[in-house]
A and B are shown apart, each in its own frame.
Chain A
Amino acid sequence: MAIENGVPSDPRKQICNDLAELLGQEEGVRVVRLLQHLELCGPAARDDGAPAPASPAATSATPADTAAETRPAPIGIWEPQETRGELAFVRPEPTLLGDGSAQRRVLLPKRSALPGRICFFGESAAAGFFYAPHLTPAQLLQEQLRVVKGPGQYEVVDLARVNESILPLLDTVQAACQLKPDLLVVFAGNNWNLLDIPTVSPQFPSVDTRQEIAESLRASGLRGPAALADARLKNAVESALARLGRIANAAQIPVVVVVPEVNLADWENRQPVMWLPEVPGGGIARWYELYGAAKERLAGGRWDEAAALAARMIELDLGTCSTSHRLLARAEIGRGRMAEALAACRAEVDATRYSTLCFMASPQCTGPVREALLRGARQRGFGVVDLATVFAEHTGSPLPGRRMFMDYCHLTVEGMKVAMAAVTAEILRLGGGAGAPAPDWRQLVKSLPNPQVAPEVDATAKLGAALHNAHRQLAVGNRDDIVEHWCERALAASPGIADAMVELLAARSTPCPAVLTAAQQRIWGTPYRLTLYHGWRSDSLDAPVFEVVGKLLARSGRQSGEASAALLVERQRVGRDAMELAYPAYYHWDPIERFYPDVVRIPNLTQRAIYRSPWPVSSFCLVADGVADVELDLTARLPGEGRPRQGTVTVAVNGRPVGELAAGERWSRARFRVQGQALSAGLNRVTLHWPLTVTDGDTALAQVIARLEQGIAADLHPVFGEVFSLRVQPR
């Protein structure tokens, strides 16, 4: 018998040793995972992180949902305090860079009948992203109510918050009952996907999650994961509304639910396609051929052909790819078929893989969430404002765009005015009783004065919109148009913002975090205070912004293109030391064109040391002086998902090929000389074109399912190429 620590060794230890050896083999863990999946071993919990579904019987308030807490509870970031014997809720001093919450420091429980108190909840759109704290929907609502009903009748307490999600929002609603509101307004739904159910993603580090996704793939093919996400989301929304109902019933106050609309005309969600079955006339290579052809037709105004190509793409990808729907939407817009365009846009939003954490998309309220909100709110007798209907009527178009929206979902001043007019009308309608009937929102829009905002504030908001579009939108078409649009609007609102734009480029011309730069300090001394919500968190050279803003500054005569380029050349040109373009992402042309875990850190998830491309083309920034030759040193490979893959990677600079790398599944390396005259002084674009010799989608998908069943992360989308290193150095 083995002796250990002076006593006979536990015989179970040898069993554990043997079991560990077995688990250390490829099939070992797989066996355990399959047993887990069948709930024959391991904890059976399948915690999807969603709120527990409401019991059908739970129509009355539960103690947890009542406002009658025994101790004061925080309301969001407002902490309860006793001041001169009275309860107050106090928030910390707002941060200089903005913290996403309203700035009112002290909230007091209501003490008198008037003014009637409305507590206003929601996400960044409700918080007035870009214009806050100077102008917010809550401020507008209060002002509109004042104009209609006179002073002292209503007060709106703004509790909306950027990055709000379902559970914290409901917690805030519940806690806000301590303020003794007379009515609740909930304006939310855009974030009701990613932030609330990250556990539907194959990237989420949970064996249970991954096994469920594997199961959904087996059961429903490509549509499986999205269907899983939609079901979870529907569950989460219904639970949320049930809880909202309990809270409102307990407090005996009415609720108005504002169902968001999103930007359909001027926001696009380009995402790569999933693994596709290799069928005759189909497959990934074919899909990308169609993609290229469709874009070309659209550029040429050949709408019918483009529509047909897009429809074929949708057939191939089974409607799972937002890109295909957007191409179709563009074609339908070109053809003047707005109803069809609307359907395609809605399908695009719903197909965007934001909820499955595959790609960094933009939070937009999806169709299932809209329907659940509308249905659930009406069932419970809540007031309802459907902004899709309101905006369509107001603009005369079913596809709201830049007139109502700054970006994917945040409202313009006009958008806020119209939205709040509808809310005002609904609030007054719910008020009912004797007296004049509630005004129609259309009349209110006409009669209410336009919100006044200082030109500097307006310009700053519009510049923020330009930056946000540049950072977050992946367009099928030309994104520069919308970025330029907002930059021009900013300049029109307040020409002095050109100085801030100059400083923006100065800050962006260096890898140093923007907040440390002298440029940011100078901006801080102007009326155009760019904060975190103006993209300061973006850790990249920001090539698209550089290009567009630089062009506009040159056009306006404020700063020449040469001067803008000179900033870059002075600070970042390939000089004495080699520069690495592929890692980290600073020199990526569009950093969000990557898989989600490579863009956003997920806690407990291992990071990668290599760049992976979900697209057949990858682009990087190269800053040169336009004189000296440089050398590109590329180490890359072609992952094959179970089948050997060979192909040629073409390297181009500013659209012109400079060489090729014969690549396979193991790292290959090649060097390319680029002559100085082929480079511009300033920004240059280095592009890698990956071969489309991609593995059969069925085989790849089977591999994905096998990995997920083992609890291992897997990509639902092809990886066209991997780069360990793309170094550039002077020649």
Chain B
Amino acid sequence: MNILGLSAFYHESACCLLQDGKLVAAAAEERFSRIKHDPRLPVAAVRFCLEAGGIGLPDVDCLAYYEQPVKKLARQLWSGIPAAAPADLSWLDPLQPERAMREMLGYEGPIRKFDHHLSHAASSFFYSGFADAAILTADGVGEWATTTYGRAQGSAIELFEEVHFPHSLGLLYSALTGYLGFRVNGGEYKVMGLAAYGEPRYEAAVRKLVQVGADGQFTLDLQYFDFIRGTRMYSPALCDLFGAPPRVPESAVLQFHQDVAKSVQVVLEDILLQKVAYLYERVGSENLCMAGGVALNCVANGRILRQGPFARLFVQPAAGDAGGCLGAAALAHVELTGERHTREPMRHAYLGPRWSADQVAELVAVTGIPAKDFRGREAELIDEVVRRLVRNEVVGWFHGAMEFGPRALGARSILANPQDPEVRERLNRLVKKREAFRPFAPSVLASRAAEHFDLDRPTPFMLDTCTVTSPLALPAITHVDRSARPQTVDPVDAPRYAALIAAFERQTGCPLLVNTSFNVRSEPIVCSPVDALFCMGSSGIDTLVLEDFVIDRAMLPENLSSLLESWHVEAAGPFSRRKSAISEDLYTFV
């Protein structure tokens, strides 16, 4: 049985394939289209999933869609016409998603649609390996729900309480993100990173924005928000409350901004802790599953795990809308077979396309870029890479199947020596070209994690934080509050990556590496070897490892960087995809 799961038309479209209960492929469209957060029908991702499954479109038994367009429309109607929405009411068409699936995808079979938050819930529980669990989902908004509480047992999920729009933790956080001058629905994790530099001086102000109610409820004080019909998330009243105008994007980040970030982070964590406690009392399971965009707040997740009542926590690595396709597919499987598709936990997220060493060899031959060939000599390859890391080189690491979800986990990663005191500044400035305050995360051997972090469990998806306890000096990955967001690497799931880290440890005594996503600012993470070459050309990466090949930046043709940069700009053409009709100051509701 072949089930295609699909998320599309809102934020971050994606596709997955469940084949006889096995998750064989998943990918976000942005990685193929090279348009960050691409919301359109994921045609390339669909074709990839079918190819990975060795099937054609007519072989798909069911297409599972991650939300209910009619219900969502009801909420949109109630909200009125947002200022940023297309004036021609083109969004007023709940049949559009299905029409697109039939006409643009060419799909002819049955389509099942599931509630947005139920899809989130399923994306977590059905991939957790738990036999039972409490479920918390939280995001900006789905159809009506912004937060849901549920219980799950075996193949059944029951969502027994919801918080409805416009009262939303996701929108609260996004509003402050916009106020702090970052991109709404894209910059929230920057706020999370910035929070570590601040003090919760404005906690009281933030608490005026949101009132916590009984059970799972909370309400936003809407006088401070404009996201329903305005052109930005917050109202002038919010600016008055904080006593300062919003930060101009790209301008200096001041202590004030750090403190506001800290304040909203603290309030979010407190609310989540309270609601998690409520959930625990209500459900009576020791397991908690989380999903929805708010679940990407790994600092909050870390606190939930440390201070909350649950013994175990599983957060879907693709906790945002892209991951809804996983949940939808899992729900369809239950409906069609009566059983959940697996009882095993999702051990890794390596579900995207891969390229063989021979394919890379052909690419290398065609480009004529000098590359060292280590085919059949993995140990030597690893030694070569370790030598470069020890020399404090920045390494673009491309190996195996691409990750699904927002985190790079050793398949499409930029790696560096965590003990190099300059690497953080260098990575931020030259390679990622991003804000200096942003911390980097480490990948650590699972077997050695507890020696360097306050960690007693695997965290393969980089979705919670902990304290750095390492005796080593690790400036690159230790945040200002001594927290880190590690990925534990298990040789069963990522053998080459684990071998690399192990070799690095043998050389340096340090069993971890800086791991940041293989992309530059405003670009999606690289997907193909060609993407990786482009990224290398336009960034400060010293070495590129493409499967079994090592490419030195110094060996690149002198003008390649300039060529790649101008190619990139000119390739956009007259209808540049970089232009968007949607404001970056407002969460898109339509």
Q: Interface residues, chain A, CB within 8 Å of chain B?
A: 4-7, 10, 12-13, 16-17, 19-21, 23-24, 26, 29, 32, 36, 42-43, 45, 47, 95-99, 163, 195, 198, 205-208, 510, 512-513, 515-518, 520-521, 524, 532, 536-537, 571, 580, 583, 600-610, 635, 637, 666-667, 669, 710-712, 722, 724-725
Contacts and interface: CB of A to CB of B under 8 A. Distances in A.
A6 B214 contact: yes
Interface of B: 33, 40-41, 43, 46-47, 51, 56-58, 69-71, 73-75, 77-78, 81, 86-90, 92-95, 99-100, 104-106, 108, 144, 163-164, 167, 213-214, 217-219, 362-363, 366-369, 530, 533-534, 557, 559-560, 562-567, 569-571, 573-577, 579-581
A707 B362 CA distance: 47
A606 B88 contact: no
B368 to A, nearest CB: 3
B581 A163 contact: no
A601 B363 contact: no
Contacts of A208: 88
Contact of B77 (A16, A29, A97, A667): A16
A26 B577 CA distance: 32
A604 B578 CA distance: 11
19 contacts: A16-B74, A16-B75, A23-B93, A29-B92, A97-B567, A207-B89, A207-B90, A517-B368, A518-B367, A521-B368, A532-B566, A609-B57, A666-B58, A667-B106, A711-B93, A712-B99, A724-B57, A724-B106, A725-B56
Contacts of A13: 74, 78, 144
A19 B89 CA distance: 15
Contacts of B33: 607
Contact of B217 (A6, A571, A602): A6
A97 B86 CA distance: 36
Contacts of B69: 24
Contacts, number: 200
A24 B74 CA distance: 10
Contacts of A205: 90
A521 B41 contact: no
B74 A17 contact: yes
Given A97-B567, A195-B574, A724-B56, A610 B90 contact: no
B367 A512 contact: yes
Contacts of B569: 95, 99
A518 B369 CA distance: 7
A241 to B, nearest CB: 23
A389 to B, nearest CB: 30
A648 B369 CA distance: 48
A722 B105 CA distance: 11
Given A571-B362, A669-B56, 19 more contacts: A5-B167, A5-B218, A21-B74, A23-B94, A29-B94, A42-B87, A95-B565, A96-B559, A99-B569, A512-B367, A515-B563, A516-B367, A516-B533, A516-B564, A601-B577, A606-B40, A606-B104, A607-B33, A610-B106
Closest 4 CB pairs of A and B: A518-B368, A95-B566, A20-B74, A609-B43
Contacts of A5: 163-164, 167, 213, 217-219
Centre residue among B75, B164, B366, B574 by max chain A CB count within 10 A:
B366
B70 A32 contact: no
Contacts of B217: 5-6
B566 A20 contact: no
A512 B530 CA distance: 7
Contacts of A198: 575
Contacts of A47: 87
A163 B574 contact: yes
Contacts of A580: 51
A interface, over-half SS: loop
Given A20-B73, A24-B95, A571-B366, A537 B573 contact: yes
A625 to B, nearest CB: 16
Contact of A96 (B367, B369, B566): B566
B580 A206 contact: no
Contacts of B90: 205-207, 711
A161 to B, nearest CB: 12
B167 A601 contact: no
Contact of A517 (B88, B92, B164, B366): B366
Contact of B567 (A19, A163, A532): A532
Contacts of B366: 510, 512, 516-518, 571
Nearest to A507: B366
A111 B358 CA distance: 64
Contacts of A518: 366-369
A725 B362 CA distance: 25
Given A96-B559, A208-B88, A669-B56, A515 B71 contact: no
Contacts of B144: 13
A500 B14 CA distance: 42
B77 A19 contact: yes
Nearest to A516: B367
B143 to A, nearest CB: 10
B296 to A, nearest CB: 24
Given A16-B77, A600-B575, A606-B40, A24 B56 contact: no
B78 A16 contact: yes
Nearest to A521: B557
B219 A10 contact: no
Given A24-B94, A512-B367, A43 B89 contact: yes
Contacts of A524: 557, 559, 563
A517 B93 contact: no
A29 B93 contact: yes
Contacts of B560: 516, 521
Contacts of A7: 219
Contacts of A163: 574
A604 B363 CA distance: 32
Contacts of A195: 574
Nearest to B85: A43
Contact of B43 (A95, A513, A517, A607): A607
A621 to B, nearest CB: 18
B570 to A, nearest CB: 5
A516 B163 contact: no
A47 B108 CA distance: 36
A17 B95 CA distance: 15
B539 to A, nearest CB: 15
Contact of A711 (B88, B108, B533, B562): B88
B367 A19 contact: no
Nearest to A666: B108
A517 to B, nearest CB: 6
Contact of B88 (A4, A26, A206, A610): A206
A19 B74 contact: yes
Centre residue among B57, B557, B570, B581 by max chain A CB count within 10 A:
B570
Contact of B571 (A36, A537, A583): A537
B577 A42 contact: no
A606 B100 contact: yes
Contacts of A21: 70, 74
A32 B74 contact: no
Contacts of B164: 4-5
B146 to A, nearest CB: 10
